[in-house]
A and B are shown apart, each in its own frame.
Chain A
Amino acid sequence: LQNNIPAFLYLLNKRESHPPPTPSSPTRDLPAASATHRRTLSLDFNSNFCIPNPMKHVVKILTILVTISAFWIGLLETSVVPRSHTWLLPIYFIVSLGCYGLLMVAVGLMRFPTCPQEAQLLQQDILEAKEFLKAKGVDVGSG
């Protein structure tokens, strides 16, 4: 690791001297990324202290589950829909949830942004770092 630190710093310096390429590339927007990281805490005005965000997420999911099960039990009791129909509903929701997840994965795959200019610049950076290190006497084998 001690041998890699000079290469790391070299690459960091090179990155700062590059002009930002296209405004649509999401990997270079460092100030925007730090802006979105600020939402780790959320204020609860009733009790006057900060609740961490994962806790609120769990509470949200639990309330959704409780409402859905209440709805299902209500359907069972009042028998608006035929009973055998109602017993199948939870399995149907689980299967549709799995389908929805698969669909989201597929849509994300299809819209995945590739940045060919970034790849080119990265290859150049790698070559320059290798030459730099070879000049300094450190042996950087490929792979």
Chain B
Amino acid sequence: MEVADRAVGFLLSFISVSIFTYYTFWVIILPFVDTDHFIHKYFLPQEYAILIPVSAGVVLLCSLCMFVGFVMLKSKKKKA
């Protein structure tokens, strides 16, 4: 039980640190690098740096609203 918790915690922290470093590199450091450096191969074009977080946020918001709506509908159906 404890080992599973620590494994999940470690995985989550690894994912969050990797996302943070990748995003920092992408947004802050890469614009200052010359455009014919090899490192640009490993990063998607810069438009995706805005597109991916915004779309993820929109998806999160929509799923939250849908969840709230479902719960409200279900409670109203149960009361009726």
Which residues in A have some Cβ–Cβ distance to B below 8 Å? Answer: 82, 84-85, 88, 91-92, 94-96, 99-100, 102-103, 105-110, 112, 114
Q: Is B63 an interface residue (CB 8 A)?
A: no
Q: Are B5 and A109 touching (Cβ within 8 A)?
A: yes
- Mark B34-76 against chain A: 1 for CB-CB distance below 8 A, else 0: 0000000000000001100110010000000000000000000
A43–B79 alpha-carbon span in the complex (Å): 46
B14 smallest CB distance to A (angstroms): 8
Q: Are B5 and A110 touching (Cβ within 8 A)?
A: yes
Q: Are B13 and A107 touching (Cβ within 8 A)?
A: yes
Which residues in B have some Cβ–Cβ distance to A below 8 Å? Answer: 1-2, 5-6, 8-13, 15-17, 19-20, 23-24, 27-28, 31, 49-50, 53-54, 57
Question: Cβ of B53: which chain A residues have Cβ within 8 Å of it?
Answer: 91, 94-95
Not counting A99-B17, A106-B8, A106-B12, a sample of 8 additional A-B residue pairs whose C-beta atoms are within 8 angstroms of each other reads A88-B27, A94-B53, A95-B20, A99-B16, A99-B19, A102-B12, A102-B16, A110-B10
Residue of B nearest to A107 (CB): B13
| Majority DSSP secondary structure for residues of A touching B | helix
Q: Are B16 and A103 touching (Cβ within 8 A)?
A: yes
* Cβ-neighbour of A92 out of B1, B12, B16, B28 (below 8 A): B28
* Cβ-neighbour of A110 out of B6, B27, B50, B57 (below 8 A): B6
A106–B6 alpha-carbon span in the complex (Å): 9
Question: Cβ of A106: which chain B residues have Cβ within 8 Å of it?
Answer: 8-13, 16
A106–B12 alpha-carbon span in the complex (Å): 6
10 CB < 8 A contacts A-B: A82-B31, A85-B31, A99-B20, A99-B23, A100-B16, A102-B12, A106-B8, A106-B11, A107-B13, A110-B5
* Cβ-neighbour of A109 out of B12, B24, B49 (below 8 A): B12
